[in-house]
A and B are shown apart, each in its own frame.
Chain A
């Protein structure tokens, strides 16, 4: 029996294997990577009854077009995604996120686009036949590490699935909500910036620019004025750190960020709001609000509890 597989008829813009990320390698220059939107990643694996840390395919903006070969497999898509299933007889099924589907031989899965968001997730029952690199299925394209030789999914390639006999039928009522503010904690160079700029930073709109990918998100808006020094001695960075280079436009570090940087850190996005920020597409307006560490820690507890509650609602 041949193995279940997907033939990639269209790769999408930035489709990669991801899991919960890779720990303990910052010191060699490898960031965490991993699924950007952790909640939607976890929901995808729960819906398809995979292990929590199984690999998924993450896509951005336009997703892949995949032709399934094999006996049968179950899939689910999470996020805010427009997709359809084209059956072998050319009939089409409009896809709904957070609902599992069974694919049969020669069915096509067309992940057309993410809507008002950036990232979506495809989880397949049993997962993909790929290898871990340093304990993780995450792909870091810039360092060429992870499954698929550290590369994005490419046209014409075959993705082998772990063949499991199952026909999953699960669904979840869930809507990705927006939040009014992206909450941040003051950064280690907060006092480098002018009072007026701090006021702007916490009251005015910033717009997500097109210079945004898995490494970072450039914002445009009021220029943030630095009074002290536009460079610091290069030091470690992390997910959600907001640096302000000399041009005054903030850059938020995302999951594939460079591990060392030399621009002052004005603020850091709280862990609870990271998914929501990273899901903001170019053109979207965002507002920052400064909170303290205790508030951020409590909000993270609420975030993890909410995630658990959502997953418990799967039927």
Chain B
């Protein structure tokens, strides 16, 4: 299932699952990720799953590239258990105050706000990966009608909670951060919890549904972001 394994520097394994980005490939990445974590392999310090890659970091004082590569290549994949996933509902306010790039999106995709919002909230999304900033989910795939490129010049500061779209994906900015996605709303939901027993609300493999809330509901939302 892993197409190729390379070294990334001297302390990481770069596992390539192929060039295509889709749910099927990503599910394989997630399966490997969950399985490797469960196995507690000597020296592995960190694992970063993404759309179609899995990067495994190890402690060079305890092991090395060759040893970890051998272990990963010889994993018995027949025992893979499908990861437990869940459905997470995320409230989003699309008020103009939050929809920073609405005009741009309207122009680029040729739809009005109401239709763009309807397109976004009318389906479930798959979480491909979390990261870049803590807890940020990369979700997909959004309807073709509302796909567009990222901003030509990224924002230096995207407000915390922003919901953005680009290409086939949408995301939630869990912290204020630089970023280039088209911002069309904001969620008051705390997606990165800082609770060590359950750090993230959304994990790779989960299904996400957005539902629209008014500005009044947003301001009354009883969760401090």
Contact = CB atoms under 8 A, between A and B. Distances in A.
A304 interface: yes
A15 interface: no
B10 A26 contact: no
B55 to A, nearest CB: 4
A185 B9 contact: yes
Most chain B CB within a 10 A radius of its CB, from A32, A133, A234, A237:
A234
B51 A233 contact: yes
B12 A238 contact: yes
Nearest to B174: A29
Interface stretch (A74-82, A107-115, A141-149, A151-159): A141-149
Nearest to B20: A233
A142 B194 CA distance: 13
Interface in B205-222: none
Given A134-B196, A140-B134, A238-B55, A188 B8 contact: yes
Nearest to A24: B46
Contacts of B75: none
Contacts of A29: 130-136, 174, 192
Interface stretch (A5-13, A44-52, A87-95, A253-261): A253-261
Prevailing SS type, chain A contact patch: mixed
Interface in B23-48: 33, 37, 45-48
B129 A260 contact: yes
Interface string A258-284: 111100010011110000000000000
Interface in A145-201: 145, 185, 187-188
Interface string A5-40: 000000000000000000111111110100000000
A293 interface: yes
B21 interface: yes
A236 B99 CA distance: 29
Contacts of A23: 45-46
B50 A260 contact: yes
B196 to A, nearest CB: 5
Most chain B CB within a 10 A radius of its CB, from A27, A28, A143:
A27
Most chain B CB within a 10 A radius of its CB, from A26, A187, A235, A237:
A235
A27 B175 CA distance: 16
B51 A236 contact: no
B60 interface: yes
A241 interface: yes
Nearest to B199: A28
A47 B200 CA distance: 39
B164 interface: no
Contacts of A133: 194, 196
Given A142-B177, A271-B10, A297-B64, A26 B57 contact: yes
A64 interface: no
B130 A258 contact: no
A296 B133 CA distance: 30
Given A238-B12, A269-B9, A260 B64 contact: no
B97 to A, nearest CB: 24
Contacts of B175: 142-144
Interface in B47-67: 47-55, 57, 60-61, 64-65
Contacts of B138: 234, 260
A293 B134 contact: no
Contacts of B45: 23-24, 32
B123 interface: no
Given A142-B177, A144-B194, A236-B49, A27 B130 contact: yes
A240 interface: yes
Interface in B129-173: 129-136, 138
A293 B8 contact: no
B66 to A, nearest CB: 9
B51 A28 contact: no
30 contacts: A24-B37, A24-B47, A26-B46, A26-B47, A26-B55, A27-B48, A27-B129, A28-B131, A28-B134, A28-B199, A28-B200, A29-B130, A29-B133, A29-B135, A29-B192, A32-B45, A134-B199, A142-B175, A188-B8, A233-B21, A233-B53, A234-B129, A235-B48, A235-B51, A235-B52, A258-B133, A259-B48, A271-B60, A293-B10, A300-B10
Interface of B: 6-12, 14, 21, 33, 37, 45-55, 57, 60-61, 64-65, 129-136, 138, 174-175, 177, 192, 194, 196, 199-200, 204
Interface of A: 23-30, 32, 133-134, 140, 142-145, 185, 187-188, 233-238, 240-241, 258-261, 265, 268-271, 293, 296-297, 300, 304
Given A143-B175, A145-B134, A259-B132, 15 more contacts: A27-B129, A28-B130, A28-B199, A29-B132, A29-B136, A30-B134, A134-B199, A143-B134, A143-B192, A233-B50, A235-B52, A235-B53, A238-B12, A268-B8, A268-B10
Of all A-B residue pairs in the complex, the 4 with the closest CB atoms, nearest first, are A236-B48, A268-B9, A143-B134, A236-B55
